Amino acid sequence: MANNAMPQPQLLLLLLLLLLQLLLVTFVLVVDAKSNVTSIIVFGDSSVDTGNNNQIVTIAKSDFEPYGRDFPGGRPTGRFSNGRVATDLISEAFGIKPIIPAYLDPAYNITDFVDGVCFASAATGYDNATSQVLNVIPLWKQVEYFKDYQKKLKRYLGAKKAHWMLKEALYMVSLGTNDFLENYYATSRRSSQYNIEEYQDFLISIAESFAREMYNLGARKMSMGGLAPMGCMPLERTVYDMDRGGCVEQYNMVAMEFNGKLEAMVARLRAQLKGFRLVYSNVYDTVLQAIENPSTYGFENVADGCCGTGMYEMGYLCDKYNPFTCKDASKYIFWDSFHPTERTDQIVAEHVMKTSLAEFV
Ligand SMILES: *[C@@H]1O[C@H](CO)[C@@H](O)[C@H](O)[C@H]1NC(C)=O
Ligand SMILES: *[C@@H]1O[C@H](CO)[C@@H](O)[C@H](O)[C@H]1NC(C)=O
Ligand SMILES: *[C@@H]1O[C@H](CO)[C@@H](O)[C@H](O)[C@H]1NC(C)=O
């Protein structure tokens, strides 16, 4: 009986069925183990504002062309970018939605905010005084809007489901640049009161109170983003480095020191508050690497914004008729003199998904 060694057709079928079952079980397990992040809730400044400033009276706006020219539909939305911002891209990477709506945008309501909402406001900072410079939404007011959102979500989903959504949501926080560049170094209000180390500590204490308050309001997964190398922004190069050859080292140092303090505060709070998965997201190193090795990422220009001359234009100065505006923003690190292109934000988003946010994926 030579066919003893050969599996019978029935046996083969059984094996196949077993294999199929195994595959199915594995598949179900994989789906089961998927991220619980079903919503991204954003606080911050222009790095993540998706249109809240369109609804307030301020000059810190970008709801006109050429902003948004690479956004779906080529539409300006109030994002300070040619396309989407990092938090949009992170929402998409989590398999949620490709854009995060602004809470104040009348085109949206609670049905659109269930799986992600943005409270950020361009030109704001941790410091109340920063938000006063251009009359934008202070961080404490963003928290008030969040409380209002919580109430609406409970009404819409019921208390139990809303509580679960808010607990599993990922809270993303990105601000601080304006505290230094728009406030501390541009006006005397804080610089006459604090030296730079003291001012950093003051901001960190506000960041800590904010994180504690969010924890008390139910947040359990939160990312606090560090500062980018702000001395490399085209505007700072224009103001402080006439030949535009390098970054303003002093500002990069201040950003690095602030980031170190923020990272330490985050670690301390995480150890202290039970069940609080608070992480620090490093933006600085990723952006600096791109500035130092542009060709690796397909960049051709690291020093100028795409918009206009690239030296000083942002907001209303970034004009759609300016003939100097670049053709292909994906070759530029900066979109305007103060903000990255969508391509840069994509690199940042990919990096944080693999590092700080990996524990939530
Ligand atoms: C998803 O939620 C469950 C139950 O709360 C928890 O055990 C699991 O660790 C969570 N998974 C992630 C990736 O957060
Ligand atoms: C939200 O807006 C949609 C239309 O965009 C409308 O059909 C719906 O009734 C609104 N829901 C609430 C809760 O206001
Ligand atoms: C900022 O302003 C709010 C509202 O007036 C206030 O409650 C808060 O204490 C202020 N924050 C700081 C750090 O002064």
| Gap from CA of 293 to ligand 2 centroid (Å) | 47
The bridge status of strand 40-44 relative to strand 116-118 is parallel
Q: Per CATH, which fold does 36-360 belong to?
A: Rossmann fold (3.40.50)
Pocket-testing residue among 103, 109, 149, 155, ligand 2, by greatest number of atoms within 8 A of Cβ: 109
| Gap from CA of 108 to ligand 2 centroid (Å) | 8
What percentage of the chain exceeds 90 in pLDDT? 88
Pocket-testing residue among 31, 36, 353, ligand 1, by greatest number of atoms within 8 A of Cβ: 36
Q: Which residue has the CA at smallest separation from atom 12 of ligand 3?
A: 128
Using CB distances shorter than 6 Å, the residues near ligand 1 are 35-36, 360
Residue 156 scores a pLDDT above 80 = yes
pLDDT grade for 317, boundaries at 50, 70 and 90 = very high
The pLDDT score that the predictor gives to residue 241 is 74
Residue 96 scores a pLDDT above 60 = yes
Residue 154 scores a pLDDT above 90 = yes
Tens of pLDDT, residues 31-40:
444 678 999 9
Tens of pLDDT, residues 325-357:
999 999 999 999 999 999 999 999 999 999 999
Quote the CA–CA distance of 182 and 177 in Å, as a whole number.
8
The pLDDT score that the predictor gives to residue 29 is 43
The pLDDT score that the predictor gives to residue 35 is 78
Tens of pLDDT, residues 268-308:
999 999 999 999 999 999 999 999 999 999 999 999 999 99
Handedness of CA 6, 9, 10, 15 (dihedral sign): positive
Catalytic residue, candidates 88, 115, 339, 351: 339
Q: Which residue has the CA at smallest separation from atom 14 of ligand 3?
A: 128
- Collect all residues with Cβ–Cβ distance below 8 Å to 303 and sequence separation of at least 6: 234, 237, 244, 310
